[in-house]
Amino acid sequence: MSTDGLIVVDKPGGMTSHDVVARIRRLARTRRVGHGGTLDPMATGVLVIGVGRATRLLTYVIGAGKSYTATVRLGQATVTDDAEGDVIATTPAGQVTDEAIRGALAALTGEIDQVPSAVSAIKVDGQRAYKRVRDGETVELPARRVTVSRLELLAVRRDSPDVVDVDIDVTCSSGTYIRAIARDAGLALGVGGHLSALRRTAVGGFALAEAAALDELEERAPEVVNLPLDAAADRFFPRRDAGADEAKVLSHGGPLDPAGILGPYAVFGPDGGLIAIVSERDGRARAEIVLAPA
């Protein structure tokens, strides 16, 4: 069985995130596999996979900031706000100027209230929104506050008279929908818009440069983990080193004296092994999860 740890996968198009998890379960020869943030089937790029005890780190990975390159097609609106859905409206977009496009993107930068796509995986009364839409319901989701820290215009392509393809580079908070950015830019410009391509380039500090294709992982199975648990935690969290007595207390779930580190942070024992992910509150450093082997 593979070592506990993380795998940074370059997800191919046409697969769901669950499809990738299923493949890794087979390669790693363990059922204990999960992913750190869904990518739609049409999307490619960074998908962080946890194996074994490292699946417990995924809740932090999911909450990390993310970066993408994407293409927004102006002139066509779709039911899903991306290229996987049927076109529901067309408006010739050839007259939209580069300056107007820059203005629409600028208005979607910073802290914004974003309405998620109606076909998102958000639950409405216990059922996924996309399931309700597919069943013929009209779903209106409330806006969420998200942060788009960077929304850079890379190129404007006018390869046909009625649509304009806009390539963008985005860095944003967890929970931001890039297809909602495409939809809202199209609405602001009065021509409609949808996301026609999406590639995730980073999740937290994990970037495409270290991502492995599934074919590469097939070749080295079952040794598919490229960031063992200790190294993964050291990369992702601030670090605290504990003495022998502290390590014993913490490994049994007990609190430590605070160290003044903004948490959550990783605590390592004298042997360099990861003990727990800790946060400080009420004057004590308390474990959020204990990861030391039993």
Which amino acid appears at position 239 of this protein? R
CB atoms within 10 A of CB 113: 9
Q: Which residue has the tokens 């590469």?
A: 216
Give the gyration radius of the chain's Cα atoms: 22
CB atoms within 10 A of CB 102: 13
Distance of CA 187 to the CA centre of its chain: 25
User: Which one of 40, 81, 82, 184 is the catalytic residue?
Assistant: 40
Residue 187 contacts residue 193 (beta carbons within 8 Å): yes
The residue among 71, 244, 75, 238 whose CA lies nearest residue 168 is: 71
Q: Is 40 part of the annotated catalytic residue set? A: yes
Residue 133 contacts residue 201 (beta carbons within 8 Å): no
Residue 35 contacts residue 17 (beta carbons within 8 Å): yes
Strand 66-74 relative to strand 164-172, pairing: antiparallel
Residue 86 sits at the vertex; the CA angle it makes with 83 and 87, to the nearest 5 degrees, is: 85
What's the rounded Cα separation, in Å, for the pair 91 and 191? 5
Catalytic residues: 40
